[in-house]
Amino acid sequence: MIDTVIFDFDGTLADTNQLIINSFKHIYDKFHDGKWNEDYILGTFGEPLELTLRRDFGSFDFEDVIACYREYQVDKFEKDVKLYDTVEETLEYLKNKNIKLGVATSRLRDSVLLALDKFDITRYFGVVIAADDVKKHKPDKEPLIKALTELNSKAENTLYVGDSKFDMECAINANSIPVLVGWQHDANNLAEKYNVKHVLRKMKDIKNIV
């Protein structure tokens, strides 16, 4: 019996894709003479930003790179990022069904808490696990296990909803039930690769699972 649903944030609850792509384009223009590959950037979605930047911009001062990335987003998050269709109604439905809800994300804690407040959905979640709350990041199981522990939930009764390979692997590694959002560019390939039974067309499709 499903009694817990935990969500990724970027690309799952909120459409941050274009903002992230544009932010990477901005720092590639500044530090790598505009040499960037969109498919590669999309493939890093779900990975903690610090890991990506330290790997791909290792020859530059990390603080300069991440400051450039964040400064680009300062006045753009408010207008460029929105919740995906039916997210809030789905959260309300699950809450009314006494389903325990949480977030496990590779975004930093301050950032995700601000975003949840912006969309007025903080009240739905019993736990938020961010990148700076764990030592090992997705696809390691630690973020999800930490969320399950704080919610006093069992992995086998939990859906983990995400959009990336990191999310699917995290769910599998934690022995929870992976749920893939179907609105990302490689959803079909990911569903086949990880043998994902549940693929959502809209967030409200979770109602059919629980």
Q: Is residue 8 annotated as a catalytic residue, yes or no?
A: yes
Nearest CA-CA partner of 97 in 175, 210, 181: 210
Written as one letter, the residue type at 201 is: R
* DSSP states along 97-149: TT-EEEEE-SS-HHHHHHHHHHTT-GGG-SEEE-GGG-SS-TTSSHHHHHHHH
Query: 14-15 and 82-83 as β-strands: parallel, antiparallel, unpaired?
Result: antiparallel
Catalytic hit among 3, 8, 80, 117: 8
How many C-beta atoms lie closer than 10 Å to residue 6's C-beta?
32
How many C-beta atoms lie closer than 10 Å to residue 58's C-beta?
9
Which phi and psi angles does 7 have, rounded to 5°?
-115, 145
Active site amino acids: 8
